[in-house]
Amino acid sequence: MKKEITTAYLQMLKQELIPALGCTEPIAIALAAAKAREILGQFPESLEIRCSGNIIKNVKSVVVPYSGGLKGIEAAATLGMIGGNPNGDLEVLSDITDQHRQQTQELLAADFTTCKLQENVDNLYVVATVRLNAEFAEVTIINRHTLISKIVKNGEVLFELPAHTAASNNSNKDSLLSVKSILKFANTVEIKAVKEVLDRQVKLNSEIATCGLDHDYGAQVGKTLIQNYGNDTPTRAKAIAAAGSDARMSGCPKPVVINSGSGNQGLAVSLPVIEYANSLGVGEEKLYRALCISNLVAIHLKKNIGNLSAFCGAVSAASAAGAAITYLHDGTYEQISNTIINTMANIGGIVCDGAKPSCAAKIASSVDAAILGHVMSMKGHTFLRGEGIVQDDIESTIKSIGYVGRVGMKNTDLEILNIMTNQVRFCS
> What average pLDDT does the chain have?
94
Sign of the Cα pseudo-torsion (373, 377, 383, 385, in order): positive
Does 76 have pLDDT greater than 60?
yes
pLDDT at position 166 is: 62
150 and 192 both lie in a single domain: no
Q: How far apart are CA 286 and CA 108, in angstroms?
A: 50
pLDDT at position 162 is: 84
pLDDT at position 14 is: 96
Does 173 have pLDDT greater than 70?
no
Lowest mean pLDDT across 38-52, 121-135, 303-317: 303-317
92 assigned to some structural domain: yes
Q: For the residues 60-79, what does the mean pLDDT come to? A: 93
Q: How far apart are CA 365 and CA 383, in angstroms?
A: 19
Q: For the residues 387-415, what does the mean pLDDT come to? A: 92
pLDDT at position 164 is: 56
Does 62 have pLDDT greater than 60?
yes
2 assigned to some structural domain: no
Does 169 have pLDDT greater than 70?
no
Q: How far apart are CA 274 and CA 214, in angstroms?
A: 19
C-alpha atoms less than 13 angstroms from C-alpha of 418 in its C-beta half-sphere? 10
Q: In the chain, what percentage of residues exceed pLDDT 70?
A: 97
- CATH code of the domain containing 340: 1.10.4100.10
357 assigned to some structural domain: yes
Q: For the residues 279-303, what does the mean pLDDT come to? A: 97
294 and 409 both lie in a single domain: yes
259 assigned to some structural domain: yes
Stated length of the chain = 428
pTM of structure: 0.92
User: Last residue of some domain: 117, 149, 167?
Assistant: 167
Could you give the angle at the alpha carbon of 88 between the alpha carbons of 82 and 89, nearest 5°? 110
Q: How far apart are CA 27 and CA 262, in angstroms?
A: 11
Q: In the chain, what percentage of residues exceed pLDDT 90?
A: 83
DSSP string computed for 342-389: HHHHHHTT-B---SSTTHHHHHHHHHHHHHHHHHHHHTT--PPTTSTT
Q: How far apart are CA 41 and CA 135, in angstroms?
A: 10
379 assigned to some structural domain: yes
pLDDT at position 410 is: 87
Write out the residue range of the structural domain in which residue 318 sits: 177-419
Sign of the Cα pseudo-torsion (94, 315, 74, 135, in order): positive
Three-state DSSP state, 219 = coil
pLDDT at position 174 is: 64
223 and 362 both lie in a single domain: yes
209 and 319 both lie in a single domain: yes
Q: For the residues 134-159, what does the mean pLDDT come to? A: 96
149 and 189 both lie in a single domain: no
Lowest mean pLDDT across 62-76, 162-176, 285-299, 338-352: 162-176
74 and 198 both lie in a single domain: no
Where do runs of H (alpha helix) occur along 41-112?
A: 53-59, 73-83, 98-109
Domain count within the chain: 2
Residue 47: pLDDT band (50, 70, 90) is: very high
9 assigned to some structural domain: no
197 and 309 both lie in a single domain: yes
* Nearest by Cα to 364 from 190, 250, 226: 226
* Nearest by Cα to 80 from 34, 36, 49, 125: 34
78 and 143 both lie in a single domain: yes
315 and 397 both lie in a single domain: yes
Does 66 have pLDDT greater than 70?
yes
137 and 192 both lie in a single domain: no
Sign of the Cα pseudo-torsion (267, 272, 273, 274, in order): positive
- Asked if residues 269 and 259 have their Cβ atoms less than 8 Å apart, the reply is yes
Does 170 have pLDDT greater than 80?
no
Residue 398: pLDDT band (50, 70, 90) is: very high
160 and 195 both lie in a single domain: no
Does 250 have pLDDT greater than 70?
yes
393 and 414 both lie in a single domain: yes
Please list, in sequence order, all residues whose beta carbon lies within 8 angstroms of the beta carbon of residue 259, skipping any fewer than 6 positions away. Answer: 16, 17, 265, 266, 269, 270, 295, 298, 299, 317
Does 392 have pLDDT greater than 90?
yes
Does 25 have pLDDT greater than 70?
yes
Residue 288: pLDDT band (50, 70, 90) is: very high
* Nearest by Cα to 306 from 170, 142, 121, 147: 170
- CATH code of the domain containing 159: 3.30.1330
Q: Which residues pair with 203 in a beta bridge?
A: none
DSSP string computed for 118-187: --SS-SSEEEEEEEETTEEEEEEEESSTT-EEEEEETTEEEEE--HHHHH-SS-GGGGG--HHHHHHHHH
- Give residue-wise pLDDT tens across range 305-363: 877 788 999 999 999 999 999 999 999 999 999 999 999 999 998 999 988 999 999 99
Three-state DSSP state, 2 = coil
pLDDT at position 167 is: 58
pLDDT at position 420 is: 84
18 assigned to some structural domain: no
Q: For the residues 60-81, what does the mean pLDDT come to? A: 93
pLDDT at position 168 is: 54
Does 191 have pLDDT greater than 60?
yes
12 assigned to some structural domain: no
User: Last residue of some domain: 137, 167, 197?
Assistant: 167
User: Last residue of some domain: 148, 167, 186?
Assistant: 167
